[in-house]
Amino acid sequence: MRLIIGLMFLLYAHLAPAATLTVETESGSRRLSTEQLLARPDVREIQVPGDVSYHAAMRYRAVPLKALLDGVPDDAHLQFVALDGFTAEIPASLILDGHGAEAWLAIEPTGETWPKLGEGKPSAGPFYLVWLHPEAGHVGPEQWPYQVAAIKVLADPAARFPAMRPDARLPADAPARRGFAIFQRNCISCHTLNGQGDAKLGPDLNIPHSPTEYLRGDMLRTLVRNPQDLRRWPQAKMPGFDTKVLSDADLDDLVAYLKHMAGRKVSP
Ligand code: HEC
């Protein structure tokens, strides 16, 4: 009996689930283990000077994310699903051609865990999307998903969520159209609009009321720049967006989009 338990223990120790990354594309789903990823010929040791999650310079073993996304079309969206189910969406175009910004998938080696993200929190592993030269592609702090368990290739949100789309009759260069792109880049991971989207963390930004209807004057801009400048409480979760991530012109376009959508409510 003791022998059997011993053997089972050994077996379990051996089968102990190493971390795996699931990559789901049109052509199917692949599971890649930490070991498989670390054995790839394109693994590099990279230095990330301004790591967004650790607020420090960090070193990682990483693979260029592009290399894992063979055949993914430019207009797709990538959804990064964290261990706790939190999702972040990033346009594939930014990863495939970031105008100089390079997306790397950092891999936490088994048995060599990275530092904790904070008191009582786990590390950013097992997989973490980090950027080199993020400023070149205007990569925002929301675009550094950590504790990644899966990467899913989705169709463009404009196609999946028609109720988020601005009026098709708007001219191509309308601020509300640009604002929709900015909304998708910065807000869609946490906020639904007209009840559509995958987000679960923040409130819907159009129903029952658009913030452009109840926030006076510049208050919406103030909130986006730094939510704590409007209302303050310890567990607030919304990050601020400074001018490096969202220029004043981008913010104008975003507000134009939200105002426009206030006239396009969809009753649930
Ligand atoms: C990381 C998640 C996250 C992102 C990204 C995010 N928000 Fe939020 N937002 C929240 C959460 C959560 C709340 C609720 C208050 C809180 O906990 O901070 C909130 C609250 C708000 C509110 C206040 C709603 C109200 O009246 O109570 C507005 C307006 C808003 N967000 C707009 C935006 C816009 C615009 C963007 C994109 C530039 C954005 N948010 C990006 C998480 C996020």
Predicted local confidence at residue 142, as pLDDT = 87
Cβ of 191 below 6 Å from ligand 1: yes
Query: Above 80 in pLDDT, residue 4?
Result: no
pLDDT digit string (tens) for 169-197? 999 999 999 999 999 888 998 999 999 99
Query: Above 90 in pLDDT, residue 152?
Result: yes
Q: Whose CA is nearest to atom 5 of ligand 1?
A: 187
The average confidence (pLDDT) of the chain is: 91
Cβ of 225 below 6 Å from ligand 1: no
Predicted local confidence at residue 167, as pLDDT = 97
* Residue 191 Cα to ligand 1 middle (Å): 7
Please name the residues in contact with 227: beta carbons below 8 A apart, sequence gap of 6 or more. 236, 238, 239, 240
pLDDT digit string (tens) for 204-251? 999 999 999 999 989 999 999 999 999 999 999 999 999 988 999 999
Cβ of 141 below 6 Å from ligand 1: no
- Residue 187 · residue 205 · CB < 8 Å: yes
Buried residues in 11-45 as b, exposed as e (16+ CB within 10 A): eeeeeeeebbbebbbeeeeeebbbeebeeeeeeee
